[in-house]
Amino acid sequence: MTARPELIRKLAKLFLEAVPKERERLTALSDLLGLIYSLYRREKDFRGFMLNPTIDNSVKLGFLKTLRERLKLGEEVDRVLSYVIELNAVPLLGEVKRVYEHEVEKLLRVSKALLVLARSVSDEELEKIKSAIKRLTGRDYEFEVIEDPSLIGGFLLKTSSLVIDASIRRSLEVLTRS
């Protein structure tokens, strides 16, 4: 199936409308989309099951309902899942998930961010860095924090729409180019 941006946006919007606007529910739906897409990409039997025209769509939906129930999502999601099955759009769920997550970030004004530090820091120092980033950007972030000694000092912040490189390594690279 050729990726059609308008269909991807429409499906993301339908999924967003299908759940209460609570962080836990929105996150669970993102997890469901990721799980279905991951199964589709990695499991030949699942892909064959979803693409098999001789298997009734209600059977396919029944399987997806069990996944939905395990993630404690309500039945309102079934209507959109049924639509995805009807359109044979399961291969698009990776992109749908990406657009959906972007819309959730806008809705909640909370973004996911990767914070790369040159060294281990205390909880107090980490909170200072996080609050400075929040002040600078005007957004809340869910941080994933990792260490990379190659930064030498400072930090690197990566979000879906922003990269801030305040590392010593970057400063040295800029100096050597001058």
Question: How does residue 111 score in pLDDT terms, banded at 50, 70 and 90?
Answer: confident
CA distances from 92 to 69, 85, 157, 170 (A): 22, 11, 29, 37
- Domain match, 97 and 121 both: no
**H-state helical runs in the chain:** 5-17, 23-42, 44-51, 57-70, 76-86, 93-108, 123-137, 168-177
Structure-model confidence comparison of residues 3 and 175, the more confident one: 175
- Domain match, 123 and 60 both: no
User: pTM for this structure?
Assistant: 0.68
129 has a pLDDT exceeding 80: yes
Tens of pLDDT, residues 22-67: 989 999 999 999 999 999 999 999 999 999 999 999 999 999 999 9
Token pair listed for 55: 């298997």
How many domains does the chain contain in total? Answer: 2
- Beta carbons of 76 and 118 less than 8 angstroms apart: no
- Domain match, 64 and 121 both: no
The domain boundary, picked from 84, 107, 130, lies at 107
What percentage of the chain exceeds 70 in pLDDT? 98
The domain boundary, picked from 59, 82, 107, lies at 107
Question: How does residue 3 score in pLDDT terms, banded at 50, 70 and 90?
Answer: low
- Domain match, 87 and 47 both: yes
- Domain match, 61 and 132 both: no
Instruction: Tell me which residue range forms the domain holding 13.
Output: 5-107
- Beta carbons of 167 and 156 less than 8 angstroms apart: yes
- Domain match, 79 and 167 both: no
